[in-house]
Each structure stands twice: as structure tokens, then as C-alpha cells.
Amino acid sequence: MKAIDIAFALLATVISVVGSAVASRITHAGLTIDVLGLVLAAGAGMALIARRRWPLVSLGTTTAFTTLYLTLNYPYGPVVFTFLAAVYAVGRYEPLSKSVPVAVVSWLVFSVHLLTNKSALPGLYGLIPVTGFVLIPLALGVIVRANREAFELARAEAIRERVSNERLRVAQEVHDVVGHGLAAIKMQADIALHLLTKKPEQAEIALKAISQTSTEALDELRATLTVVRGRAPAPGLGLLPDLTDRMSHAGVEVKLNVVGTQRDLPAAVNLAGYRVVQESLTNVLKHSSVKRATVRVGYEPGSVRIKVSNPSSGPVLPSAGFGIPGMRERVTALGGEFSAGPTEDGLFEVRATIPTDGDSQ
């Protein structure tokens, strides 16, 4: 039993006993109370100690004590409120399939006192307050239970949604890191295979590039997993020089142009901007026949603008993976704007504008 249950039952017992003794003195029906009456009043109160753990047992016990108390012609008083509390507990802690039948049985048993108690209303009129003693607390208990269940359901749904969103976020992060590294490794491996018999010394250079790229990809994957565990800051736009260097080693000529005063950005904005550039360059490495790209990052009041462009090598097929859809989702989730597609001057451009309201200026 919890301490609060014991304290509540003791308080109800004191009120029931003292209230019954006082009621016997002020009643106009000539009803008095003796030791047996006080014991029954105390028993009705103490039965509430189990009202949350075993509400059906609590109601059955309280109904028996209060019914016997009133049937023996002891006066109405706070003892009735122990019955109300027990009925409420059944509605609050038991399903309707159990609470309603038990409440009906308790109502029938409790109504027996109407036949003997002198202070009860005569005839069928006495059933009105007795019915209220059961119906009102039962309804309150059921309403509280329903509201509580609705709250728990909404909270569970919110937790499931957060878990699902976190899984998608982790999948996106792993895709960006691993996809970028594997694309670079594949490119270098193809070069090595092509040069292996004709120019072994050049193949050796490509193999060394593969080794370096794989090491860097593993390091970034470890860093990403560390970020997921909450132990380190996520990569941001400040690391673009390192990213462009890696892409250069992988075979993509990258020109980085930063416009405006570089400043600290919110972590989510910083990560989204970095991933947009990373994924765009990875797409150049995987899909473009011209391995050349220009990255422009513009720091503006209230936003950061990113543009990655490269010579277009034909129509862009719809992507079913994380690539362009993943970039768009990252940017729009932060309230930004995103576009990707060919331009009239023969380029393929990825554009992203991400608001930075509240960043450090």
C-alpha cells in the first residue's frame, strides 16, 4: 500500500467516526450511536485503504459496513461519503464491464437500509438520493478514467512519433555519410581498375585515395553516431573546406565561395546546410560526367543561402532514395525553401534558403 492510500483511509475513518458521533447528537429522528455503530463507521473508512489497488474489494467492504450501519438505524452522516469514495474508485480504476455491474449490486444492497432507517425518505422517494449516491461518483470516476486513458494514448502516440522521426533522422544521417564515402570510393576503385594494367603507378595513387577516403568516411560515420548519442556537436558549414578537399581527392573539382560574414548558426541549420552541400557533391560524383562543381554559401540577415551548381549531363531521373527528397525534407522542416533542377545556361543547380532567426550574430 502507498502511504497516500493509508493516509486517505485514516482521514476518512476519523471523519466517519467523529462525524457519526456528532450526527447522533444533532439528529431530530432520535437516533443514537453506540460502540458497534462507531466500529462500523470506522470499518467503512478503513476499507478505503484498498480503493486503488483493489477497488472492487474496497467497494464491497464499504458497502457492507455502511449498509449494516444504516440498517441498524444509526444516523446518516459522513459514513455515507466513504461509500461515495468507494464507488468513485471503482469507476476510476476498473473498466465499465466490471464497474457498472458491481455498482448496480452495491446500489441494491445499499438500498436495503431504506426499509429500517428512520431518517431515510419514505417509500420510493428514498431511492432518489440512494441512486445519486451511486450514479454521480461512478460517472465522475468513469469520466476521469476516460480522460486519463485518452491522455496516456496521446502521450504514447507522441512517443512513437518521436521515435519514428528519430529513426528517419538517423537513417538520413547514415545515408549522407555512408553514401558520400562509398561514392568516392567507387569512383577511385573504377579508376584503379582501369589503370591497374596500363599505369600501375597511377593505380597505386587511386588505391591510396581509396584508403584515405574510407578512413575519412569511417571517421565521419563514428562522429555522426557520436552525435546521435548526444556526445559531440554535429558537422556544420564551417567544415565545408574539409568536405571540398575530400571531394577533390575523390575526383571532383570543387570551388567554394563564401559570401558575407560567417557566423555561428543554430545546430539544426548548420547541419542541414552541410548535408545539402555534401549530398549535392556526392550526386555530382555519382551522376555527372563533368566532375566539377561550384559551392556558394551566402550569409544574409535572417537566413543562409546555399547554391551548388555543376555542368548538367542530361535529364535528372526521379529519385526514390534519400538524395534530393532528403535534402528538400531537411530544408523545409526548418521553414526554408529548396529547389533542384537544370538551368537555362546548361547547369544543374541545387538551391536552399534556410532561415536563421535567433542565431548568434
Residue 193 burial class via C-beta count within 10 angstroms: exposed 0-12, middle 13-18, buried 19 and up: exposed
297-308 tens-digit pLDDT? 999 999 999 999
E strand or H helix that includes residue 340? strand 337-342
* 159-355 to CATH, choices 3.30.1540.10, 3.40.50.300, 3.30.450.20, 3.30.565.10: 3.30.565.10
Model pLDDT, residue 360:
47
Round to the nearest angstrom and report the end-to-end CA distance of the chain.
57
Model pLDDT, residue 157:
86
DSSP string across 288-321? -SS-EEEEEEEEETTEEEEEEEEE--SPPPPP-S
241-265 tens-digit pLDDT? 988 988 888 888 999 999 999 999 9
The ranges of the chain with pLDDT < 70 are 1, 27-31, 118-119, 122-124, 175, 177, 179-181, 216, 218-233, 313-322, 358-361
Residue 157 burial class via C-beta count within 10 angstroms: exposed 0-12, middle 13-18, buried 19 and up: exposed
Any idea where the domains of the chain sit in the sequence? 3-120, 159-355
Model pLDDT, residue 197:
76
